[in-house]
A and B are shown apart, each in its own frame.
Chain A
Amino acid sequence: MEYLAKAFTEAIGLIIGMDREIFTITLLSLRVAATATVLAAVTGIPLAYYVATREFRGKAALITVFNTLMALPTVVVGLFCYSFLSRKGPLGFLDLLFTPSGIILGDVILAFPLIVGLTIAAVNAVDQRAGLTALSLGASGRQASLTVLAEARFALIAAIVNGFGRVVAEVGSAMMLGGNIRGYTRTITTAIALETSKGEFAFGMALGIILLTLAFTVNILFRRLQRAAGP
């Protein structure tokens, strides 16, 4: 226990002292996860709205696929992307392997089905009269769609928060596509894995505390937002 307490004290010291490497790793993690989440949301939410509000052949099967892909193993995404991005792969000429952009690509693939699946559920949960009311009040089709999405805003934010949480905490894809290169592609999770294996518990623990703090902060902000909006 003394050993753990010592590591914890050292971890707090590293955080308070704004250790340069921890700062760089955290910043990269945030940048990669935020970019991937934004890209997945920008493409996934319109697609999800379309799927939720239109009737077409294969709709149920498509929704099942998205729901299944929500639990896509990160190493499988890593493997899949690696095979495409490696020098011999069809997308090797892009030189994305072992770059932050490579990690972002994997993270987008991880966050996309989660955001799509949760957004479909969110739009389906909106009262059907919302779109009709918007149209009846003079909204264009696009304005009515945006109004329906606005009505589902808390569920949409939850979908985005979940997407962000998934990619900021994943390690398999980031490790395989980023290569865990110090100062370049080392994220919080890959650094924790590496430092722990090296016996650097304090460093890993400091990053773990930061990761948990991030998750708590995002969730607390989300809850406050929900409470402010009333029942």
Chain B
Amino acid sequence: MGRRGLAIVLFGSLLGACGPKSPREQIEGRGQSVASWAATAVMIGRTWLQGDVPTVYAQKTLRSAGTQVTSARTSLERSARGEPLALAAIDRYGRLARLLARMAAAVGTDDRAAVARLLAQLPEEAQSIRALRRQSQSGG
């Protein structure tokens, strides 16, 4: 491939990257961030229960996690176009965001029992989100 050919390929890949994201691409891209926030919440919940992180930090970071997940959900809603996988992801993101908000509130009121209960639900949510991501990657 000559220099001109290489330039065309690189320019093409840049242009491709600029285009609007399909719902599947969004589940793949932002899904990773959402799953990461779910995993973060699990670690924060566990360490908070053990007294290994301060309440102020735990509450603030869980709130940030909720905001990020809600933002991913809103962005996916805009491009879902009725695709079943996207609708399933929107539902899961919504459940996770609500869970995170309740957990942040429980940490704020020092309700350890509630935090432990909500924490038990988080791994399942995280697993579902990862499964959706895998599905979108395999095109299933």
Instruction: Indicate whether A and B interact.
Output: no
